[in-house]
Structure 1
Amino acid sequence: MQEFFRYFVEGIDPVNIILTVNALPNLPWYNILFVAFVIAPLVRFQGPMIALWLANLLVPHRLFPEPPQRRPGPLPLVSVVIAGRNEAAGIAGTIRSLLACSYPRMEIIFVDDCSTDDTFEIAGSFVGTGHVRCFRAATHSGKPSCLNIGIQRARGEYIMIVDADADVQIGAIHEMLIPFDDPRVGAVTAHLRVRNARDTLITRMQEIEYAFNVAASRLWRSHLGILSIIAGAGGMFRAGAIRSLGGYDTGLGDDTDLTMRLRKAGWRLVFAPYAVIWVDCPATWRGLIRQRSRWERNMIKIRLRKQIDILRVSLFGFSNFLMMADQILVRFLLPLAFLAGLFWYIATDPFITSRILTFMYWIHVWETLLRMLAANDVLGVPRLAALPLAPLVPLYRLGLKLSLMPAIVKEMLRIGLRHGYVPEKIWRQTPHW
């Protein structure tokens, strides 16, 4: 332990960093492999961020093109569909933010999933504005089924899906409509920002994570045509596109599943960086693991089982193959390789472990600082006040990956497949992958 802390402190000494780098080629082969497993993710994640920063510096008009002149005539009608159960604490704020977001031709459709509190009554109190319609599901059927009810009743040319506890920033709907001038665009995803970032250390870490994975990542993926998600908390669809697919899968009604089906149908997907929607993140570690475990299990259900055929280039094209291959690499292969290399390394050469691990830790810290600065320069997130948290980010990532391993293993072994948020009757009607 004393050796570990000595090398930990030495990790910030440039001389020791240079000496350690020079020593790497002389390490046994399995250490070289471990370093490769760590260096490869650094290149994969830092490379796109550097490219974004350079594009913003040299050709900002290509990264953020000027919006086209608004066509003459009335604005299109946008139907905002919200589904929720027991959302009394947040539904009023969400509806108020929509009514105040400066878009005049809008209808808000709220579908209540048999709430046991006064959610439906609170939403119904806005009916008098003339912009809100409320419906109640006959039985508790889950969020995807309720979203489909709203989609069926929507009268707009475009359908926007918003969470029942989100805030839509002024101008967001205008920004999300701009990409639809291209008839090939089937859906647009908003820029999600963490509303409760200052609540706890866990939410502050998620603010940094959202800056990387929600803002910067979706920006460069959008420009390359490999955007992999239209966020369920804030996405807009061409009405004809979402209806042609039959809406959400009621049993696996995940935004990932709908995104994959849109891509298979040949629609182009776009990220709107100036369309900001504020969402709340889990404020405790337990709540975060519960949320991310659900996400990881759905990733396996949908990407590795239900929609794995999107890798077939002959059917769905090279861009879909590239998108899916990158997701498998980033979400599954690199994390598993890193953890396997870490455990092997500790077990086989504990003496040198302290120096290499602390060296790699500091590499990740400097890499995180660079990404934070670049993301802030390009997109304004995360806040510069979050920079002192950079030393905690590698530990947060590692702890999160380790905590999610049980959920991943259980899903791979098909243990406890049904999620609690899917009603039993809906689950029985759903094909399982």
Structure 2
Amino acid sequence: MEMPNVPLGQWPIKTIIKKRRYIEVTKKFWIGHGAALLWLLFSIIVSVPWLNDLGALIGKPLAFILIAGIGYIPGYINMFIAVSLLFDRQPQFKTTNPTDPVTIIIACRNEEKSIGHTLRYIKGQDYQGLIRVIVVDNASIDKTAETAQKAGEDLGIDIQVLFEEKPGKYNALNKALEHVNTEYAVTLDADTLLHKSAIRYLVSRIKSAPREVCAVAGAVLVRNSRENLLTRLQEWDYFLGIASIKRMQGLYQGTLVAQGAYSLYRAEALREAGGWPDAIGEDIVLTWKFLNSEKKVFFEPLAVAFTEVPVTLKHLLRQRSRWARGMIEALKLFKPWQQPVKYVKYLTGINLIMPYLDLVYTFCWMPGLILAFFGKYWIVGPATLFVVPLALLQNYILYSYQRNVFRKLDLRIRRNRLGFVLYVLLYQMLMSPMSVIGYCQEILMLRRKWK
């Protein structure tokens, strides 16, 4: 995705609201499940020959378990997401020009090269309220603090630089929380650049939401997609994959991660929760704690920020395994069946079966794909292709929506056809093994790393 050279002047609001017949969230939820169930029944029927062939080799019970992980369950989930996206309509803003004071928290570790650039984009916000910035230097060995202080003063930003010697992002964030005196706090990574209207849309969404909404996750996209083929793949993951999941979760009022890279919180809710927890996935665990206390978390697709993504497999592995560990941490603390809201029970329940799906994909589907090249269609065969149309449908629905979002924000979608094809066909071959590594790290309680 292309970031424009954002001018410092006021941008016009181009909010287009179309009158549509209102459908209750509960009805959308069950319609989605109904369509997913029909697809599941169809999948089981057409897979009978596949089930028989594989069952003759390893037994039908085990064959059913493998095929369920490869086709039945992913197909059910994809159909539910696709139908949910068709029904999704963002609630109308009650205000688009709020003026409430906001504090932006930037937890840093060795970010001397990027912090000044990040602060310049904060200065360029079209938000009419006061923006305070708290930069927390978390045991950096470079000149992060000095660079942040000088850049903030040169830009005329209301900035405060703090020091936190205890390693761990949660320590840095909690240090900043002690100094927040505004109703709203935004967390922002030091390598993440805000779109001109990012803060305005975040605050507009929470001001337009019910009081029980305690956080709003922003839309995070890729800013370094031209770096190499790996970043091109991630561009589509953020633009379509992650965004589709967040939109679906937001529809059911249970966005499962208000990501630390860019989200807004009610400061009061943060303090009630005891701040960020001691976890490798501190943002995941915090969000689930909110949901477990019957609070709601929304997602705002118009509140866009652009972040640096890993450019090497090593760093991508470290990031995605960390995300997987964070999910397991949250599941240990907050069981899906104990969630008070039925939608959140289902959404967190999907995460409960993700390790199973990733294990089957890594140790069965990928070897099965190799066997298929030699004419052995025991595990991967023609029937597995039925999942592809669903994935394409889901991506097309979201692409159409995202295109309209970009038009409203005066952004344009970069043509990245090769990245898209590889994203649809191959990306999961990277993600599942990386997630499995993360699960193993958490089971073995290996040392945690922030980056």
Amino acid in the other structure paired with 1:177: V
Paired residue for 1:92? 116
TM-aligned CA distance change 1:174 to 1:398, over 3 Å = same
Paired residue for 2:71? 39
Amino acid in the other structure paired with 1:76: D
Q: Is 1:398 aligned with 2:434?
A: no
Q: Is 1:191 aligned with 2:219?
A: yes
- 1:246 deviation in Å? 1.9
- 1:296 deviation in Å? 1.7
Amino acid in the other structure paired with 2:436: M
Amino acid in the other structure paired with 2:286: L
TM-aligned CA distance change 1:65 to 1:408, over 3 Å = closer
Q: 1:171 aligns with which of 170, 194, 197?
A: 197
Paired residue for 1:427? none
Show CA shifts across 1:371-430 (max 9, x none): 332221012389473344444233231233224434422422x252x21349xxxxxxxx
Q: What RMSD, in angstroms, separates the aligned Cα atoms of the two structures? A: 3.1
Amino acid in the other structure paired with 2:206: F
Amino acid in the other structure paired with 1:337: V
User: Gapped runs of 5+ residues in structure 1?
Assistant: 1-19, 56-61, 423-433
Paired residue for 1:304? 331
Q: Is 1:218 aligned with 2:261?
A: no
Query: What does 1:279-294 correspond to in 2, within 5 Å?
Result: 279-294=307-322
Asked if the contact 1:161/1:232 (under 8 Å) is kept, the reply is: yes
Show CA shifts across 1:174-204 (max 9, x none): 1111232321110000000011112111111
- 1:134 deviation in Å? 2.6
Paired residue for 1:76? 100
Paired residue for 2:449? 420
What percent identity do the matched residue pairs reach? 23
TM-aligned CA distance change 1:356 to 1:310, over 3 Å = closer
Q: Secondary structure of the residue that 2:86 maps to in structure 1?
A: helix
Asked if the contact 2:216/2:258 (under 8 Å) is kept, the reply is: yes
> Aligned partners of 1:410 and 1:109: how far apart in 2?
33
Query: What does 1:35-184 correspond to in 2, within 5 Å?
Result: 35-52=67-84, 54-55=86-87, 63-69=89-95, 75-104=99-128, 105-125=130-150, 126-127=152-153, 129-137=155-163, 139-181=165-207, 182-184=210-212
TM-aligned CA distance change 1:345 to 1:197, over 3 Å = closer
- 1:207 deviation in Å? 1.4
Q: 1:333 aligns with which of 336, 356, 359?
A: 356
Asked if the contact 1:191/1:274 (under 8 Å) is kept, the reply is: yes
Q: 1:274 aligns with which of 289, 302, 317?
A: 302
Asked if the contact 1:52/1:378 (under 8 Å) is kept, the reply is: no
- 1:359 deviation in Å? 2.9
Asked if the contact 2:217/2:299 (under 8 Å) is kept, the reply is: yes
Amino acid in the other structure paired with 1:353: K
Paired residue for 1:378? 401
- 1:351 deviation in Å? 7.1
Q: Secondary structure of the residue that 2:257 maps to in structure 1?
A: coil
Q: 1:319 aligns with which of 339, 343, 351?
A: 343
Show CA shifts across 1:147-185 (max 9, x none): 112111112110010001100111111111123232111
TM-aligned CA distance change 1:92 to 1:36, over 3 Å = same
> Aligned partners of 1:270 and 1:85: how far apart in 2?
29
Q: What TM-score does the superposition give when structure 2 sets the normalisation length?
A: 0.77
- 1:251 deviation in Å? 5.0
Asked if the contact 1:372/1:387 (under 8 Å) is kept, the reply is: no
Paired residue for 2:37? none
TM-aligned CA distance change 1:278 to 1:299, over 3 Å = same
Q: Secondary structure of the residue that 2:302 maps to in structure 1?
A: strand
> More displaced, 38-47 or 229-238?
38-47
> Aligned partners of 1:170 and 1:350: how far apart in 2?
49
Asked if the contact 1:110/1:132 (under 8 Å) is kept, the reply is: no
Q: What TM-score does the superposition give when structure 1 sets the normalisation length?
A: 0.80
TM-aligned CA distance change 1:248 to 1:98, over 3 Å = same
Residue-pair matches, total: 388
- 1:35 deviation in Å? 3.7
> More displaced, 115-124 or 368-377?
368-377
**Higher share of residues assigned helix:** 1
Asked if the contact 1:123/1:134 (under 8 Å) is kept, the reply is: no
- 1:130 deviation in Å? 4.6
Show CA shifts across 1:241-291 (max 9, x none): 111112112455610011011112221110001000111110111211121
TM-aligned CA distance change 1:119 to 1:244, over 3 Å = same
TM-aligned CA distance change 1:286 to 1:358, over 3 Å = farther
Q: Secondary structure of the residue that 1:204 maps to in structure 2?
A: helix
User: Gapped runs of 5+ residues in structure 2?
Assistant: 1-45, 407-411
